[in-house]
Structure formats: structure tokens, C-alpha cells
Structure 1
Amino acid sequence: MGLRANATLRQRRLGIELRRLRDACGLSVADAAGFAGLGAPHLGHIEAARTAIPEAKIRALADAYGCRKEPLVDALVAMGASTGRGWWSDYRKVLSADALDLAELEASCAGCKTFQWLYVPGVLQTPEYTRALFRGVESEASPQTVRASIEYRQHRQRMLVGGSPAAFHAVIHEAALHMQFVGVDVMRRQVEHLVEMARLPHVRIELLPFKAAAYPAPFGAPFVVFEAAVPELNTVYVEHPISSPFVSAQEQLVQFSAAFDHLSAVALPPIDLRVEPEFHVRKDSLGLIQHLLYAS
């Protein structure tokens, strides 16, 4: 079997985590490979995500590395066993590898925390809003690409529905609801859609007002914290046009998680339709939304 030319995020992450465990215990590639009945070059290819690794070999390596965290080992095994196929596979010839990795990550995460300050988060967008966004950002894209991108973004919303959807927490800066790249009617429907999505028990939406005592983008860009079955495998997605958008270094995961918690703490209380209307009046996220709707 030939070596992979283009590994997915999941495949790269598995290799990174296996190497991280090996480095932590101080074993060389050659010594570690011997414990699992592998050749050193073979293990090198596994850590570089150029080839797959069966469950028995993952467990043998974890044992050699002294990893006794069964949930972590089980999660690594699941990563290795996954085919990576899903609805996003239909878009392989149209969209970037990063877009496909993002969809797979959303489909497999246990929780999602997203901060946006110019746009409504993708999985909360209406089709009309997405179309207006792509007209401005991808003005030279072909109609086929725009159509596929809109369909793709709507498909991503599957993470919010189904039998066991991921817990979803969004902090959206008030600025995103004032952007005028969309018409008033489109923005109104988008804002109303946010309220409807907030009805879902696993969805929490908070607005960060202009007057909030927090710098709106601690890392200079919107970001998403994807929570895995075990915290060691959490991933951060950073919306950046040049560098790799996915972050997995443990110290950076801690920084991004802390930044999100701070943004959530200074944001308005979440949209909650159970609260009596007279108690909103811009004291919470729904109150601000109502003000924006009726003031427009």
C-alpha cells in the first residue's frame, strides 16, 4: 500500500498525539517501534500521518509509553478506525481540504465554542445571509462554487440536530449584527433565526455588546474551540487566510479556552425565551436583539 500524499486533519492529529506520547516518555522511534512490532521507518510514517495504524498497534504503543488513560487511548483508536467519510465527501472536488477537515471535526466533536465579531457563525447562518456573505468575500468565484459553498455551510448545521447533537455555545459581537453587506430584510431574518436556534436546549447564544469590558478578539481573529471526548484531543480552529487554521498544542488550547471563557463572562446573558419579556430591555442578549430588530 502506498503512502498518503494528503493526510486529513484527523490523520495528522493521530500521528501528532502518538509522537507526543512517545516524546513524553523519552523513547526513540526505533525503541518504540520494537514494542509494537513495527520497523522504525514504519512508525515514522505513522507519526507523519503517511500511513494508517491498526488498533492493536495503537494500544501496544500506548502501553509502551506508559499511557494509562483509557479514555484517551480509546479516543486514539477511534481516530485510527474512522474512515473519514461523511456528507462532506461529496465536496472534495469543489472545496478546500481545510473546509472538509472542519466539517469532519464538527461532525465528531462533543462540544463547540465559537467566537465571531464580524459575521454570524457559519452553522447559524441562513442561506440568504451566506449568499450575501459569499458575494462580498468570493466575488470572483464561479456560480457553481458559490452554490456548493452555500450548500456546504447549510449541511454543516447538521451538527446541531439529530439524536445526540454537540453542545454549542456562541459568543457573537454586536458588530456582526450591524454589518451592512446584507440587506435589512436578510439581516432581520438572520437575527430571527438566531432566536429560533437558541430554543434548542443544547444551544447557547450570547451577544458581546460594544460597551463590553473586553477586547473583542484576543488573538486577532475569530476562533472555534472544538471539545473532543477527552480534553487532550481538543482542537481550535482559527479563521486566518494564510497560516494553518487548526491548533492542537496543549498550551495554546488552554489559552484559547481561557479567552473564550472570558468573552462569555463579559457578554450579555444568553438568549433565553423563558424569561418574561419585560425583564429583557437590553439587559440580556435577547433584549439587545429585540432592540436591533425594532430599531431597524
Structure 2
Amino acid sequence: MGGAARYGEFRLARQRVLTADRPVPYRAIIHEAALHARIGGPQTMRKQLLRLMEVARMPHVTLQIFPFEAGAYSAYSRSFAIFGGAAPELDTVYLEHPLNSVFLRDGEHIDEYGKMFERLSVLALDPVDPEAAPESHTARDSLSLIQHVMYSL
């Protein structure tokens, strides 16, 4: 199996974690630029944004959008994921790169990336509230920004 096929299979397996019988807690911060990237045309983008809103409303998911007006932040110079769980010795930072992705298992790296994630969380818009109806939002939050981008397509 080639690198692209393995990467695709990894991404699909990662998505299945969200809908498993016992889903794990999942937190994500997405830069607003990712919402505006026109991939596949308006209809495809609407479907992707609707799916994002659907996932964001799952009770075990916390999704925040890092808006343009929050300014530049060095952590967004590169995408990263922190995989952690009940056994901290297995925690891993995943740095995605088109040519060679990197997995970091060193506690110092995990701590540093964890601090970056928490700083991003503070700067990002409020997370999507799975209990609140979309029309009840009175302040700008992550859900309202996703909806705005979707309706502007």
C-alpha cells in the first residue's frame, strides 16, 4: 500500500473514532482559513461545512474556530494533533506534513504542544454548544462563523 493510500486509510480510521459505540472525547481548533478554502465547489463545501456542524454538535466533541481577527499565532504555522488517553505514556503529538509526517512521544514536546493548544483555545471563538439550537445564538461563536461561511458560498 502506497503512502497516499495509507494516509487516506489513517484519516478514515481517525474519523470512525468519532462515531464508535464508546466515542472518545475530541477537541479541535480549526483556523478560519480552512473554512474558506474552496475545495470541490460550493455544493461540496456546503456538505463539508454541514458535516462539520453535525460533528461539532456531538456531545463528546468540542470544536472551536480560530478567527482571522485573533491575529497571527505561531502554532498555526503547522497543523498538529495531540493523541492522549488513559495511559499518558502513550500520548503522542502528530505533525502532519505532505512529505513526511512526524510522531513525537517525548514528554517535553507533548507538554509544549499542550500549552500551545490551550493558548489557541483561549484565543478561539467559543465552542459549538451541542445543547443550544443554532437560531438561539446571540453572540458570535464557532457555530455562527461556520454558518456564515456556509451561507456565503
TM-score, normalization by structure 2: 0.85
Larger radius of gyration: 1
Structure with bigger RCO (C-alpha 8 Å, 6+ apart): 2
* Structure-1 separation of matches of 2:10 and 2:106: 28
* Structure-1 separation of matches of 2:111 and 2:9: 33
Matches within 5 A, 1:165-244: 165-215=23-73, 217-218=74-75, 220-241=77-98
* Structure-2 separation of matches of 1:280 and 1:182: 32
* Aligned amino acid, residue 121 of structure 2: S
Deviations 1:159-178 (A, max 9, x none): 11223221111100000011
After superposition, the Cα gap between the structure-2 partners of 1:219 and 1:288, relative to the gap in structure 1 and judged at 3 Å, is closer
By percentage of residues, which structure has more strand? 2
Q: Contact 1:214/1:263 (CA < 8 Å) preserved in 2?
A: no
**Residue in 2 aligned with 1:287?**
144
* Structure-2 separation of matches of 1:273 and 1:226: 23
Q: Contact 2:80/2:95 (CA < 8 Å) preserved in 1?
A: yes
Shift of 1:213: 4.3
Shift of 1:228: 3.0
| Pairwise CA RMSD | 2.4
* Structure-2 separation of matches of 1:199 and 1:155: 20
Tell me the matched-pair count.
152
**Residue in 2 aligned with 1:44?**
none
Shift of 1:267: 0.6
* Structure-1 separation of matches of 2:85 and 2:13: 21
* Structure-2 separation of matches of 1:292 and 1:219: 20
Q: Contact 1:213/1:266 (CA < 8 Å) preserved in 2?
A: no
TM-score, normalization by structure 1: 0.47
Percent of residue pairs identical: 40
**Residue in 2 aligned with 1:247?**
104
* Structure-2 separation of matches of 1:152 and 1:223: 15
After superposition, the Cα gap between the structure-2 partners of 1:232 and 1:153, relative to the gap in structure 1 and judged at 3 Å, is closer
SS of the aligned residue for 2:69 comes to: coil
The reply to whether residue 268 of structure 1 matches residue 125 of structure 2 is yes
* Structure-2 separation of matches of 1:231 and 1:279: 37
